[in-house]
C-alpha cells in the first residue's frame, strides 16, 4: 500500500486543457500535505537523460529541427497554472517531460516518491473511443505498469439517456 499522508501528487497536464485535473490534484495535495508536481509529456521529443529529481534532458525527434516550441509550451502551461492556482496555499512545480506518457509519468512518480498519479479522461470527440482503444487509455496503462494508485478525473458527464454519438 502507498501511504497518502505526506506523499507527493503527480498530475498530468496539457496546454489549454480542462482545469479540473489541476484543481483536483492541488486539492488532493493540500489534503495529504504532500508536494505537488504537474507534468507535461511531449511525445514529439525523446529523453536523452533522466535525473534523480524527475527532470529530464530531452531533444526533438527530428535531429535537424531547431525547434524551441517546447519552451513556449512550457511557458504557456506555467502561465495557465499560475492563473488557475493564484492564491492557492499549495506550492507546485512543473516538470516538462518527453517520450511515452506512461513511462515519463512513472519515472517522475518514482523519482518524487508520489503517493498518487492524477490524470484526466479524454473529452468526448469524434474518433476518441477508437483512438483510446488503439493507443490504450493513459490511466489504464499507468495502473497496469506501476504500483501507485491512479486517479482518473472525469472531464465530461455521460448522459446515459441521451442517444449515443454513433447512433
Question: Could you report the per-residue pLDDT of 105-150, keeping only the tens digit for each?
Answer: 999 999 999 999 999 886 555 555 555 544 458 777 777 777 899 9
Write down the pTM of the prediction.
0.82
Percent composition of the chain: helix, strand, coil (DSSP 3-state, to 5): 35, 25, 40
Which strands, in side-by-side order, build the sheet including 150-153? 92-98, 36-42, 8-12, 114-120, 150-153
CA–CA gap between residue 106 and residue 132 (Å, rounded): 19
Question: Could you report the per-residue pLDDT of 84-105, keeping only the tens digit for each?
Answer: 999 888 999 999 999 999 999 9
The answer for residues whose C-beta is within 8 angstroms of residue 146's C-beta and 6 or more apart is 106, 109, 110
**Beta-bridge partner residues of 118:** 11, 151
The pLDDT value given to residue 123: 57
Amino acid at each position: 500500500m502507498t501511504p497518502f499522508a505526506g506523499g507527493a501528487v503527480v498530475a498530468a497536464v496539457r496546454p489549454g486543457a480542462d482545469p479540473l485535473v489541476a484543481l483536483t490534484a492541488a486539492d488532493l495535495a493540500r489534503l495529504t500535505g504532500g508536494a505537488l508536481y504537474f507534468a507535461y509529456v511531449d511525445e514529439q521529443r525523446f529523453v536523452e537523460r533522466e535525473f534523480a529529481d524527475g527532470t529530464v534532458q530531452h531533444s526533438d525527434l527530428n535531429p535537424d529541427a531547431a525547434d524551441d516550441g517546447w519552451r513556449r509550451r512550457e511557458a504557456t502551461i506555467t502561465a495557465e497554472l499560475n492563473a488557475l492556482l493564484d492564491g492557492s496555499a499549495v506550492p507546485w512545480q512543473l516538470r516538462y517531460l518527453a517520450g511515452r506518457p506512461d513511462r515519463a509519468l512513472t519515472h517522475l512518480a518514482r523519482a518524487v516518491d508520489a503517493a498518487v498519479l492524477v490524470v484526466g479522461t479524454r473529452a468526448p470527440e469524434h474518433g476518441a473511443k477508437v483512438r483510446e482503444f488503439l493507443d490504450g487509455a493513459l490511466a489504464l496503462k499507468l495502473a497496469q505498469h506501476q504500483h501507485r494508485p491512479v486517479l482518473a478525473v472525469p472531464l465530461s458527464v455521460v448522459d446515459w439517456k441521451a442517444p449515443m454519438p454513433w447512433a
